[in-house]
């Protein structure tokens, strides 16, 4: 069985790592020598082995109800503990990995015929120990080109309680927030590299699919959804994944997390200034500064954007490592765009004026995947070009304008209700960006448009602009992150900037997807 690979190196970690209950594992008595150490190792191994057994085992080749030959290798563990938490984990393991195969326990073993198609299912487990805590990792592979998938549970035998990955990291002396950020960066960098190198972006630009895949990568790499592995005594690995265009749409990703804090390394600082705008990137943090000048003062009249004084904005939604930065313009008036070149040679950008149309939030748009294999950013006149590895030059302004016109992701479109405080409010978002909502118990009706700005851990960022109502109520603008839960049909709306039109002062709320016939909505017109 797979868990028998846990040799002395992994099991001995219980002797040098801090135990789950907070007490250090006992050390061998002074002068006891190798014999005592070996005895201690054996005792630890025996105790750990007795704590996990198998509740279901099946290894045979069978013919199923559809007369298809299948090779089954199924091992499902169970925790030897009688607490409610242990019982529930054992129940989940049985339901997820054993239930569908119990009917084949009494099936006769068969020999596949020559050249007969014989799909296989492989299910097994690993146990990784940290003192009295175990990280139980299941792995399933159903054949084909998909790499399989993993799922994990953590359990503390000392307290007889299930523990989260976050709690495990804390017991190891790690900062969960720092680990979370590292995991998200690694996952997003891997996804962006995969998209640019594979050339898959062309078929995914419609329907906001690129944004959906990036959001899925962020959403499915939250700490407590990951598998925790200790493959060696001094190694910690977190298993997450990233969106893929192949197979099941997912590829796993193992990220090694240092157990010891590394010496801080000097960070390269990237800067650029153009007109009234400047940018600074240091490591994974970036800011854009706008100065109050005649250039930006013209925004008052042209766009209704008033910059009262010099202001510095953080850049939201950046996850990569960058080697170059450059500011250029888009269009005739002062329209600054900040371009960022990743270490993998892919261009990202922040359309400053476009973002400010909706509020005081500057968000990094999805990478322009077609702008890849870059080595440097170069300003030519007022616009920015990409110098590529083969010496060619790619103009970025037309691509930026094109990328700005991508459809809204499907997860953010449709009709949603907000029922709270005995009031009925709603909003309706169309894929082309048309937007309408009824607020104040459906007594005030707004129309306008929505634009996709990028992704952050809280969701897909939309900038919303509405016009003055027929009754003379001024329009409103706001920026919000939206995350849709397919299982509950709910949309989480997290405010980033501007007034919350549905509940004053609320930073987050839940909306329910509703049928197209409810609520009764006014058709959107181009006017």
Q: Using alpha carbons, select from 410, 510, 514, 412 the residue that is nearest to residue 461.
A: 412
pLDDT-based confidence at 238, cuts 50/70/90? very high
Same domain, 281 and 249: no
Is the pLDDT confidence value at 29 over 50? Answer: no
Tell me, yes or no, whether 212 lies in a domain: yes
Same domain, 501 and 420: yes
**Structural domain ending residue among the three candidates 163, 184, 206:** 163
Percent of the chain with pLDDT over 70: 87
Per DSSP, the residues of 33-86 read HHHHHHHHHHHHHHHHHHHEEEEEEEEEEEE-TTS-EEEEEEEEEEES--SHHH
Kindly tell me the sign of the dihedral angle through the C-alpha atoms of 260, 261, 263, 267.
positive
Distance separating alpha carbons of residues 214 and 476, to the nearest angstrom? 29
Q: Which of 66-70, 165-169, 220-224 has the lowest mean pLDDT?
A: 66-70
Same domain, 150 and 186: no
| Count of domains forming the chain | 4
pLDDT-based confidence at 34, cuts 50/70/90? very low
Tell me, yes or no, whether 289 lies in a domain: yes
Per DSSP, the residues of 319-360 read -S-EEEEEEEE-SSS--EEEEEEETTS-EEEEEHHHHHTT-S
**Structural domain ending residue among the three candidates 163, 194, 226:** 163
Specify whether the CB–CB gap between 334 and 352 falls below 8 A: no
**Structural domain ending residue among the three candidates 129, 163, 197:** 163
Backbone angles phi, psi at 184, to 5 degrees: -65, -40
pLDDT-based confidence at 16, cuts 50/70/90? very low
Q: What is the pLDDT of residue 44?
A: 63
Q: What is the pLDDT of residue 43?
A: 57
Tell me, yes or no, whether 73 lies in a domain: yes
Tell me, yes or no, whether 522 lies in a domain: no
Tell me, yes or no, whether 37 lies in a domain: no
- Burial category of 486 from C-beta neighbours within 10 Å (exposed 0-12, middle 13-18, buried 19 and up): exposed
Q: What is the C-alpha end-to-end distance of the chain, expressed in Å?
A: 68
- Burial category of 381 from C-beta neighbours within 10 Å (exposed 0-12, middle 13-18, buried 19 and up): exposed
- Cα–Cα distances in Å, from 455 out to 204, 293, 459, 513? 16, 31, 6, 21
Q: Which of 84-98, 172-186, 195-209 has the lowest mean pLDDT?
A: 195-209
Q: Which of 39-43, 342-346, 406-410 has the lowest mean pLDDT?
A: 39-43
Specify whether the CB–CB gap between 350 and 367 falls below 8 A: no
Residues in contact with 193: Cβ distance below 8 Å, sequence separation at least 6, in sequence order: 344, 346
Same domain, 290 and 248: no
Per DSSP, the residues of 131-186 read TTEEEEEEEEE-SSS---EEEEEEEETTTTEEE-HHHHHHHTT--HHHHHHHHHHH
Helices 176-198 and 209-219, axial angle in degrees (round to 10): 150
**pLDDT tens per residue across span 496-519:** 999 999 999 999 999 999 865 544
Distance separating alpha carbons of residues 323 and 163, to the nearest angstrom? 40
Same domain, 59 and 138: yes
Backbone angles phi, psi at 427, to 5 degrees: -145, 155
Q: What is the pLDDT of residue 38?
A: 54
Same domain, 431 and 509: yes
Same domain, 226 and 320: no
Same domain, 433 and 462: yes
Tell me, yes or no, whether 470 lies in a domain: yes
Residues in contact with 293: Cβ distance below 8 Å, sequence separation at least 6, in sequence order: 275, 276
Tell me, yes or no, whether 20 lies in a domain: no
Give me the CATH number covering residue 138: 3.30.565.40
- Three-state DSSP at 520 gives coil
Specify whether the CB–CB gap between 172 and 323 falls below 8 A: no
Mean pLDDT of 48-60: 94
Same domain, 295 and 399: yes
Q: What is the pLDDT of residue 507?
A: 94
Q: Using alpha carbons, select from 4, 2, 95 the residue that is nearest to residue 56.
A: 95
Q: What is the pLDDT of residue 348?
A: 97
Same domain, 367 and 444: no
- Measured in residues, the chain has a length of 527
pLDDT-based confidence at 246, cuts 50/70/90? confident
Q: Which of 126-130, 140-144, 212-216 has the lowest mean pLDDT?
A: 140-144
Q: Which of 194-203, 238-247, 265-274 has the lowest mean pLDDT?
A: 194-203
**pLDDT tens per residue across span 333-356:** 899 999 999 999 999 999 999 999
Q: What is the pLDDT of residue 516?
A: 56
- Burial category of 430 from C-beta neighbours within 10 Å (exposed 0-12, middle 13-18, buried 19 and up): middle
Mean pLDDT of 384-390: 97
Backbone angles phi, psi at 301, to 5 degrees: -80, -45
Same domain, 364 and 457: no
Specify whether the CB–CB gap between 383 and 370 falls below 8 A: no
Q: Using alpha carbons, select from 453, 458, 465, 448 the residue that is nearest to residue 499.
A: 465
Distance separating alpha carbons of residues 244 and 195, to the nearest angstrom? 8
Tell me, yes or no, whether 121 lies in a domain: yes
Hey, what are 461's tokens? Answer: 């960022």
Specify whether the CB–CB gap between 456 and 481 falls below 8 A: yes
Structural domain including 180 reads 176-257
Same domain, 440 and 350: no
């Amino acid at each position: 069985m797979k868990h028998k690979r846990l040799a002395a190196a992994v099991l001995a970690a219980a002797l040098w790592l801090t135990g789950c209950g907070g007490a250090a594992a006992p050390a061998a008595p002074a002068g006891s020598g190798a014999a005592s150490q070996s005895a201690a190792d054996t005792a630890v191994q025996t105790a750990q082995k007795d704590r996990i057994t198998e509740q279901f085992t099946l290894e045979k080749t069978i013919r199923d109800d559809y007369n298809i030959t299948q090779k089954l290798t199924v091992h499902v563990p169970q925790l030897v503990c009688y607490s409610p938490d242990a019982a529930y984990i054992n129940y989940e393991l049985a339901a997820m990995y054993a239930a569908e195969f119990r009917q084949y326990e009494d099936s006769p073993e068969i020999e596949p015929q020559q050249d007969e198609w014989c799909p296989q299912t492989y299910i097994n487990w690993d146990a990784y120990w940290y003192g009295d805590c175990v990280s139980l990792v299941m792995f399933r592979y159903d054949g084909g080109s998909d790499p399989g998938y993993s799922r994990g549970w953590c359990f503390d035998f000392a307290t007889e309680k299930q523990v989260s990955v976050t709690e495990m990291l804390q017991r190891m002396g790690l900062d969960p927030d720092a680990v979370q950020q590292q995991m998200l960066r690694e996952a997003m960098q891997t996804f962006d590299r995969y998209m640019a190198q594979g050339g898959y972006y062309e078929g995914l630009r419609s329907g906001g699919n690129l944004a959906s895949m990036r959001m899925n990568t962020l959403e499915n790499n939250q700490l407590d959804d990951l598998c925790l592995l200790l493959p060696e005594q001094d190694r910690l690995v977190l298993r997450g994944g990233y969106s893929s265009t192949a197979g099941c749409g997912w590829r796993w990703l193992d990220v090694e997390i240092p157990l010891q804090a590394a010496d801080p390394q000097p960070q390269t600082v990237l800067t650029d200034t153009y007109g009234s705008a400047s940018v600074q990137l240091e490591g994974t943090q970036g800011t854009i500064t706008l100065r109050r000048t005649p250039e930006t003062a013209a925004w008052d009249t042209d766009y209704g954007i008033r910059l009262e004084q010099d202001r510095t904005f953080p850049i939201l939604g950046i996850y990569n490592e960058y080697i170059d930065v450059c500011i250029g313009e888009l269009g005739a008036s002062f329209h600054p765009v900040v371009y960022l070149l990743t270490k993998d040679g892919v261009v990202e950008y922040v359309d400053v004026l476009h973002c400010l149309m909706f509020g005081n939030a500057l968000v990094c748009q999805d990478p322009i995947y077609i702008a890849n294999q870059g080595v440097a950013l170069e300003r030519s006149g007022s616009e920015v070009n990409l110098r590529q590895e083969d010496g060619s030059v790619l103009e970025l302004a037309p691509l930026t304008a094109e990328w700005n016109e991508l459809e809204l992701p499907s997860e953010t479109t449709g009709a949603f209700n907000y029922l709270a405080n005995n009031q009925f409010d709603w909003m309706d978002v169309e894929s082309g960006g048309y937007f309408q909502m009824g607020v104040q118990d459906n007594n005030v009706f707004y129309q306008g448009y929505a634009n996709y700005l990028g992704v952050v851990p809280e969701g897909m960022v939309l900038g919303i602009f509405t016009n003055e109502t027929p009754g003379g109520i001024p329009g409103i603008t706001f920026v919000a992150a939206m995350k849709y839960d397919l299982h509950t049909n709910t949309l989480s709306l997290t405010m980033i900037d501007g007034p919350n039109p549905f509940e004053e002062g609320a930073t987050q709320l839940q909306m329910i997807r509703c049928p197209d016939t409810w609520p009764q909505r006014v058709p959107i017109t181009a006017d």
